[in-house]
Amino acid sequence: MTLTIVFYRLGYSKRAQEIEASLEKAETDAANTIGEAQKTAENRKRELLLQAKEEIHKARIEFEKDVRDKKSELQRERNRLEQKEEAHERKIETFEQKEEALESRVSDVLALEERARELEKQKVIELERISSLTVEDAKNLVLDEARETYRHDMAIMLRQMEEAAREDADKVAKDIIVSSIQRYAADYVSESTVSVVNLPNDEMKGRIIGREGRNIRAIETMTGVDLIIDDTPEAVILSSFDPIRREIARITIDKLIIDGRIHPARIEEMVEKARKEVDATIKQEGDRAVFETGIMGLHPEIVKLLGKLRYRTSYGQNVLQHSIEVCWLAGMMAAELELDVMLAKRAGLLHDLGKAADFEMEGSHISLGAEIARKYKESKDVVNAIESHHGDVEATSLISVLIAAADAISAARPGARRENLETYIKRIQKLEEIANDFEGVEKSYAIQAGREIRVMVKPDNVRDDEMILKAREICKRIEDELDYPGQIKVHIIRETRVTEFAK
């Protein structure tokens, strides 16, 4: 045991010595390594410093080069600007010299113009002294000579041109009138007897016709209107000479399209609703006409008949509006003549009353209107105005004459400007005065309500070849000085008579 411990201690001491030797060696190696590292670091540091100094030196050289280049470029730019400024100054000096030269020339030109005007005045004065004529007199003399020289040729040429134009115009006018009559007749019948109902789609046509045509038969039977369903896309045509039935059918179809349920029972219900709606509209229109014209005391049935005129047209003119217009015209004329204004307005409003019943009763609208007026106790003057406004019966009062005149004014010229008697007479007188002002005119007569004027000229003062020019001059002055509807035809009449006696 003791030996073992001794040996152990000996081994431990030897191992400690080895460790210490190793540590010393390691410390020596570490010191050597650190020294080498420091030497390497010092070398690397010196290398980096040298490299940095070289880069800084290169950068300084490049910067100094760039600065020199910029300075050179700026110097060159400065030189160019100085050259341009010098050139600009030279141009300004040149322009100023030219401007001075132009001003000098302008002054010379103005002086020459003034001299030329003076010479022109002196020349004119000298010519007037030599010819004993002023410039205006000489101009008129030359123009008069030229006018007289070529007047005959101008008249012949103008006559030829007018004859050629008249021949062409007659042919064109005939063609226009014929085609207009054909188109207008068709259009008028279409507008007066046909209405078009627009459909949302063509499928609706089949629903309106219905199974085996039961729906269309029901509509035609209940409304009394013919339905025309053809290839017209999304449209149904209603045909009837009774405008009220046509309106009821149109409203019925519109309601059926909106409702969507189309069958005979529903059609009957919609027809009844449409009829009530049209009756209400008729009553409203009748009340409106009465209120607008101020006519009181009319029988309710007469007011209803007036409302029916809302759906009646005559030659494209709404009869209710025509009746209201005649009412106002008759009232104004009665006021001018100091007659019964309210009676004239009443007769004017009722004069076409028969047109509200001529689809339902036999007879003309004149006889039907008179019969209705008698039935509802209208005065004799009103009845006579209704009967006589187209000349079928003799007028027995001034009111009847006024109604006939007002009806002619409204019906013959719908929408035209109304013209009172005083204005009409002044226009006729002015027309004759214009013709009489011309040299060589003996007398003139306005005829055909001022649409034509006949001018008698003196045969000794106006030659045949001058007549066409005279007519042209009169027409031109009429166009310039008069306002008139349509056109005015000017006739120039030159007559030479020779009288001798046999003894």
Q: How far apart are CA 218 and CA 216, in angstroms?
A: 5
Select the more confidently predicted residue: 419 or 453: 453
pLDDT tens digit string along 45-76?
888 888 888 889 888 898 988 898 898 899 98
Neighbouring residues of 333: CB distance < 8 A, sequence distance ≥ 6: 344, 402, 405, 406
Overall fold of domain 294-412:
Hypothetical protein af1432 (1.10.3210)
**Is pLDDT of 189 > 50?**
no
**Using 50, 70 and 90 to split pLDDT, how confident is the model at 180?**
very low
Count of beta carbons in the 10 Å neighbourhood of residue 490: 19
Phi, psi of 394 (to 5 degrees): -70, 135
Does this model's pTM top 0.75? My answer is no
Mean pLDDT of the chain: 80
CA–CA dist 503, 275 (Å, integer):
91
CATH fit for domain 422-494, picks 3.40.50.300, 3.40.109.10, 3.40.50.670, 3.30.300.30: 3.30.300.30
- Condensed to tens digits (0 to 9), the pLDDT of residues 458-467 reads 888 888 777 8
Per-residue pLDDT tens for 82-100? 998 888 888 898 888 888 8
| Most distant pair of Cα atoms in the chain: their distance | 217
203-256 confidence digits (pLDDT tens): 787 888 888 888 888 888 888 888 877 777 778 888 777 788 888 888 888 888
DSSP per residue over 279-317, as a string? HHHHHHHHHHHHHHHT-----HHHHHHHHHGGG-EETTE
Residue range 199-280 in CATH 3.40.30.10: no
Cα 296 to Cα 288: distance, rounded to the nearest angstrom: 12
Query: In this structure, what are the phi and psi dihedrals at residue 377, rounded to the nearest 5 degrees?
Result: 65, 40
What are the structural domain ranges in the chain? 1-106, 199-280, 294-412, 422-494
Binning the chain into helix, strand and coil, the percentages to the nearest 5 are 75, 5, 20
Percent of the chain with pLDDT over 90: 1
Share of the chain above pLDDT 70, in %: 84
Confidence band for 418, pLDDT divided at 50, 70 and 90: very low
Q: Higher pLDDT residue, 503 or 58?
A: 58
Q: How far apart are CA 265 and CA 207, in angstroms?
A: 14
The DSSP code sequence of 229-275 is: --SSTTEEEEE-S-HHHHHHHHHHHHHHHHH---SHHHHHHHHHHHH
Q: Render pLDDT for 330-361 as a digit per residue (tens, 0 to 9).
A: 888 888 888 888 999 998 898 888 888 767 77
Closest CA relative to residue 239, chosen from 274, 193, 208: 193
Instruction: Indicate whether 103 pLDDT > 70.
Output: yes
Q: Which residue has the tokens 């007188």?
A: 429
What pLDDT, on a 0 to 100 scale, did the predictor assign at position 153? 64
Does residue 154 carry a pLDDT above 70?
no
366 close to 386: Cβ distance less than 8 angstroms = yes
Cα–Cα distance measured from residue 166 to residue 471, given in angstroms and rounded to the nearest whole number? 16
Complete DSSP assignment for 338-398: T--HHHHHHHHHHTTGGGGTTTTSSS-HHHHHHHHHHHTT--HHHHHHHHHTTSSS---SH
Residue 71 CB neighbour total at 10 angstroms = 10
Residues 283-301, mean pLDDT to the nearest whole number:
87
Bridge partners of residue 236, in order along the sequence: 197
